[in-house]
């Protein structure tokens, strides 16, 4: 059996004298307890030394990734003869063992027994390899470990994520500072030339005009064609002649110029930083950049912490990323949850109408989740998936907009069919020939009719009373044989009351009759 061992100085190939010692893995450490025992167990067959630190770094990098480097492949092909190819090669790393077996077609072993054997060789490496002192080996280990750490830090994907996160945070801070400085210079110079604040809206152009013009009295002599268009330049010069601002000193103007210089320099640096961020995003997340843009993609990565953390998030989380406060407030108050967070600033979501923004944000989040996983875990470079997904999203947007327009059109069509068009009609003129003179006796007849209407409820009252009286009489006749003398007295009292009520009713009937007679007499007259 042959054993391949990697050292900071180079590759070592050992020959196992007795393979039966590997039958008991727990007893392997006994064969490396001393230098003599180690030399009896293994014999150095070949050693390939690294020429410089660069070769050592490339070899160690390939070993870490589990790949077969060119130097190791050349060493094994030259040292292994036809007889050795039939033997088994023991390798400590399983990934390296698989690549060696695939490319060189050798029987390779990498298991727990092999790891115990490697541990024993490492303990007696200075005695097994002659001419390699332990102090030199330790120095080589220290230098190679530092070089490997620097290499990993230089090409780490987390490092690139950190640069994107820092760049987008700095870009947001620069925007805030620019707004603050621009507002300050407008307020400061506005005391001298207040009309220019309304004429020039752009902050950079305002600062350049302040820097080149100085006092407003110099406006007529100053050439502002490099900063402003001709029409706006003429308006500024005309406004400077009739300005209502106060006078300022040279010292005040000097401080205003310093502030204007700050605005110009920060704006130029912001443009440079945006280009840097754009290039970084195109290199690390091309598919996400193609789908949602550089700024939105960088903000998503910064919010998640890294591209790898963002790739672990589902589409529903990516959709509301950045709206956590609104989400928990909605859950607490049992209201509707937010439909979008940072994705609201994506171009596809911004192009959608108000009614379909939620649907568009959900579909963009779904496709963005796929793009992020391809960027984080895929090996391909460039927007391989992003362009195709972008085309699908644009088609989906057109489809949703078509549905919204058709629904609005059908609603308006139904209203037109059901509602007639308003037509203005002129009012008819007053016709005097249609007037009719009313007779004088009509109000008298009306009075008689009113009297008839008044009689009807009285008759109803009488009929009600007579019915009640008859009912009482029938009840009394049934109770007469049963009652005593006292009851007879009570009956007489009731009869008297009946007579009184009947008399009152007759008097009420006579009154309307008299009224009728009087009205008839008046008519005759």
The answer, yes or no, to whether residue 132 has pLDDT greater than 80, is no
User: With respect to CATH, is domain 162-274 assigned 2.60.120.260?
Assistant: no
Asked if residue 431 has pLDDT above 90, the reply is: no
- Indicate if the pLDDT at residue 517 is higher than 50: no
Residue 519: predicted pLDDT = 47
Which helix or strand (DSSP H or E) is residue 336 part of?
Answer: none
Distance CA 156, CA 307 (A): 12
Reply yes or no on whether the pLDDT at 520 is more than 80. no
- Please indicate whether residue 97 or residue 152 has the higher confidence score (pLDDT): 97
Average pLDDT over residues 344-366: 90
Question: How confident is the model at residue 490, as a pLDDT?
Answer: 67
428 dihedral zone (left: phi>0; alpha: psi -120 to 50; beta): beta
CA neighbor of 129 nearest in space, from 59, 46, 71: 46
Q: What are the tens digits of pLDDT across the range 296-347?
A: 999 999 999 889 899 999 999 999 998 889 989 999 998 888 888 999 999 9
- Specify the DSSP element, H or E, that contains 394: helix 386-418
What pLDDT does 365 receive?
93
The second-level CATH assignment, the architecture, of 285-404 is Orthogonal Bundle (1.10)
Looking at the chain, the number of H-run helices and the number of E-run strands are 23, 5
pLDDT over threshold 70, residue 461: no
Res 407 pLDDT > 70: no
The region of weakest confidence among 379-383, 438-442, 460-464 is 460-464
Task: Give the pLDDT band (50/70/90) at residue 438.
Answer: low
Q: What secondary structure does DSSP assign to 102-121, as a single string?
A: HHH--EEE-SHHHHHHHHHH
Q: What pTM does this model have?
A: 0.52
Q: How many CA atoms lie within 13 A of 134 on its CB side?
A: 7
Chain mean pLDDT for the chain: 79
Architecture of domain 2-153: 2-Layer Sandwich (3.30)
d(C-alpha 216, C-alpha 523), whole Å: 104
Q: What angle do CA 222, 224, 226 make, to 5 degrees?
A: 135
Q: Between the CA of residue 151 and those of 6, 60, 142, 147, what are the distances in Å?
A: 19, 11, 14, 6
CATH 1.10.246.90 positions along the chain are 285-404
**Ordered alpha helix ranges (H), 293-385:** 294-304, 307-311, 315-319, 324-333, 347-351, 357-377
Distances (CA, A) of 20 to 43, 117, 131: 16, 13, 30
Assigned token pair, 474: 């029938």
pLDDT digits (tens, 9 = 90+) for 162-220: 889 999 999 999 999 999 999 999 999 999 999 999 999 999 999 999 999 989 888 88
Q: What is the pLDDT of residues 277-299, one digit of tens each?
A: 999 998 889 999 999 999 999 99
What's the average model confidence in pLDDT over 455-478? 49
| CATH 3.30.420.220 residue ranges for the chain | 2-153
Distance in angstroms (rounded) separating the CA atoms of residues 348 and 288: 13
Alpha-carbon distance of 137 to 124, in angstroms, equals: 12
With 0-12 / 13-18 / 19 or more C-beta atoms within 10 angstroms meaning exposed / middle / buried, residue 185 is buried
Segments of the chain assigned to CATH 1.10.287.4070: 162-274
Answer yes or no: is pLDDT of 414 > 70.
no
């Amino acid at each position: 059996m042959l054993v391949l061992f990697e050292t900071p100085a180079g590759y070592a190939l050992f020959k196992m004298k007795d393979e039966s010692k590997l039958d008991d893995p727990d007893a392997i450490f006994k064969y490396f307890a001393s230098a003599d025992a180690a030399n009896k167990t293994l014999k150095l067959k070949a050693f390939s030394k690294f020429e410089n630190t660069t070769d050592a770094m490339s070899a160690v990098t390939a070993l870490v990734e589990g790949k077969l480097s060119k130097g190791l492949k050349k060493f094994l092909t030259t040292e292994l003869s036809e007889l050795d190819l039939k033997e088994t090669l023991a390798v400590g790393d399983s990934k390296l063992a698989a690549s060696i077996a695939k490319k060189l077609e050798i029987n390779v072993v990498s298991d727990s027994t092999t790891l115990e054997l490697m541990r024993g060789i490492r303990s007696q490496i200075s005695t097994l390899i002659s001419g390699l002192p332990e102090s030199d080996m330790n120095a080589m280990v220290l230098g190679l470990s530092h070089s490997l750490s620097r290499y990993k830090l230089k090409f780490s994907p987390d490092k690139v994520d950190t640069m994107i996160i820092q760049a987008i945070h700095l870009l947001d801070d620069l925007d805030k500072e620019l707004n603050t400085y621009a507002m300050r210079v407008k307020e400061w110079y506005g005391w001298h030339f207040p009309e220019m604040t309304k004429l020039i809206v752009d902050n950079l152009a305002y600062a350049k005009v302040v820097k080149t013009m100085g006092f407003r009295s110099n406006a007529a002599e100053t050439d502002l064609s490099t900063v402003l268009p001709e029409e706006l330049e003429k308006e500024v010069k005309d406004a400077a002649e009739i300005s209502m601002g106060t006078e300022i000193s040279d010292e005040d103007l000097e401080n205003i110029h310093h502030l204007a210089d700050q605005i110009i320099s920060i704006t130029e640096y912001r443009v440079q930083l945006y280009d840097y961020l754009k290039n970084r995003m195109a290199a690390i997340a091309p598919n996400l950049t193609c789908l949602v843009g550089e700024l939105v993609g960088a903000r998503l990565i910064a919010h998640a912490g890294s591209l790898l953390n963002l790739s672990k998030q589902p589409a529903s989380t990516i959709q509301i990323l950045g709206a956590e406060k609104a989400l928990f407030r909605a859950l607490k108050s049992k209201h509707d949850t937010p439909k979008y967070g940072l994705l609201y600033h994506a171009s596809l979501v911004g192009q959608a109408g108000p009614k379909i923004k939620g649907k568009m944000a959900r579909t963009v989040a779904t496709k963005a989740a796929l793009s992020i996983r391809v960027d984080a875990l895929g090996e391909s470079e460039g927007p391989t998936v992003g362009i195709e997904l972008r085309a699908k999203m644009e088609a989906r947007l057109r489809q949703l907009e078509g549905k919204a327009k058709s629904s609005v059109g059908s609603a308006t069509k139904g209203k037109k069919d059901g509602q007639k068009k308003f037509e203005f009609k002129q009012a008819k003129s007053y016709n005097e020939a249609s007037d009719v003179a009313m007779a004088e006796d009509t109000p008298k007849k009306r009075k008689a009719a009113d009297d008839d209407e008044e009689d009807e409820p009285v008759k109803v009252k009488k009929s009600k009373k007579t019915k009640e009286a008859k009912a009482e009489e029938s009840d009394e006749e049934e109770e007469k044989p049963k009652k005593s003398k006292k009851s007879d007295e009570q009956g007489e009292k009731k009869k008297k009351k009946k007579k009184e009520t009947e008399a009152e009713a007759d008097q009420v009937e006579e009154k309307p009759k008299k009224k009728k007679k009087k009205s008839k007499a008046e008519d005759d007259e």
